[in-house]
Amino acid sequence: MTEPVGLRERKKQRTRRALIETAYRLFARKGYDQTTTAEIAAAVEVSHATFFNHFATKEDLVLTDDGAQILRTGLNVIAERQSGETALGVLRRAMFRMLAEAGTGLRDPASELERIRLDLITSVPALQATMLQRAFDAQQQLATTLRQTYTDELDDIDAAAIVGAVTGAVLAAGQTALRTGQSLNAAMQRAIDIATQQRE
């Protein structure tokens, strides 16, 4: 008998999450390069083929595509600005909304798993390169949407500079929090406050 679509999808999501959580713990214990996809699959008690049904590569497992949903949340906030809201004000609100969205899933800045993931991204060269490119792409999308929403007030340089200042502050604060063992979520929130208040 065939399982209902909803049940199949829930099982698929549970397996995906188990693969991610198990992989992060193995990476933290053994190291990223020393952990194989076969070991991850075995630890979750699924086939190696099942691993590849969820992730094309080990890198994809760390750089999960849920970041796209987080970014979409921020872009929607900017595109649907409130009446009288400044460009910096809407960007501030978008950044806080993105942090809140991250907090509902595996990318929760307050979780130990996210701390492991970010440690990997800042220490494994292949992951660093991919993440840097994704960060640049996200900044560009945020700046483009901000520019399109405030066509009479901002040009391309204005939008890029505002977005760069705020996102750069968040990234720098996050890296510092990781290095010093402070709360990642609190550091990012504080960075948004500092970057946006200084420019208002």
Task: Dump the DSSP string for the chain.
Answer: -PPPHHHHHHHHHHHHHHHHHHHHHHHHHH-TTT--HHHHHHHHT--HHHHHHH-SSHHHHHS-THHHHHHHHHHHHHHTPPTT--HHHHHHHHHHHHHHHHTTSTT-TTSHHHHHHHHHHHH-HHHHHHHHHHHHHHHHHHHHHHHHHTTTT--HHHHHHHHHHHHHHHHHHHHHHHHHT--HHHHHHHHHHHHHHTT-
Q: What pLDDT is attached to residue 173?
A: 94
Dist. CA 62–CA 64, nearest whole Å: 6
Instruction: Give domain 5-56's CATH number out of 3.40.50.300, 1.10.630.10, 2.130.10.10, 1.10.10.60.
Output: 1.10.10.60
Task: List the single range of 6-15, 27-36, 104-113, 156-165 with lowest mean pLDDT.
Answer: 104-113
- pLDDT surpasses 60 at 135: yes
Q: Domain 66-197 - what CATH class?
A: mainly alpha
Q: What pLDDT is attached to residue 5?
A: 61
Q: What pLDDT is attached to residue 132?
A: 86
Dist. CA 167–CA 98, nearest whole Å: 11
Domain with CATH 1.10.357.10 in the chain: 66-197
Dist. CA 135–CA 122, nearest whole Å: 13
pTM of the model as a whole:
0.79
pLDDT band at 199, cuts 50/70/90? very low
Per-chain mean pLDDT for the chain: 89
- Condensed to tens digits (0 to 9), the pLDDT of residues 44-79 reads 999 999 999 999 889 888 887 667 889 999 999 999
Domain with CATH 1.10.10.60 in the chain: 5-56
